[in-house]
Structure 1
């Protein structure tokens, strides 16, 4: 006789909607929480707690969450579309670590990026 394997799960929610709408909503979001947790622990150093004290580690975790939220706000409202979904490491390489050269002409300073210096 062949054994049957069943996968049973439940959803507890306060969302309005039919049961099917709620299940479809949760399936659509599948994987998003893991991505955000990865960003918190890897990009924002949320996985490296600074001490053995619960209070200090809680403060560190909250700062990581605030930093991630500020980064997302910055990405969504100020960056072009191609940079809205990238990780912090990519932003560091493309935006925050841009080499500049300062040139003083006619009493004014000009800043040239590496791309402008090559032209």
Structure 2
């Protein structure tokens, strides 16, 4: 691909702007494939990305969920130790996202869920 791009730039210098776009696209696809969300009996671990998170279940102070965008895509916010982990439905398959919600509701006490979470959860059901 790089050889083809170098040949194209040599023949037509106006296509030089394509190189940074292709590099950014390839890096973002690589970085996206390395994201991991692990939910264990002790903690929630989010690896990859710019801000890795390691959340113990007892450190969670609040869990909120809201619908964003044109189609009200659900996004879960987990607040802990003055930080926030955002889990978007668009990142996971439907069944995976439902499993994440189920595990959160099983591990965390009911008083940590906000009213907006409960309303959005009813819309998903």
Q: TM-score, normalised by structure 2?
A: 0.27
Q: Rg larger in 1 or in 2?
A: 1
- Which structure is higher in strand share? 2
Q: TM-score, normalised by structure 1?
A: 0.28
Q: Which has the higher contact order (CA 8 A, sep 6+)?
A: 2
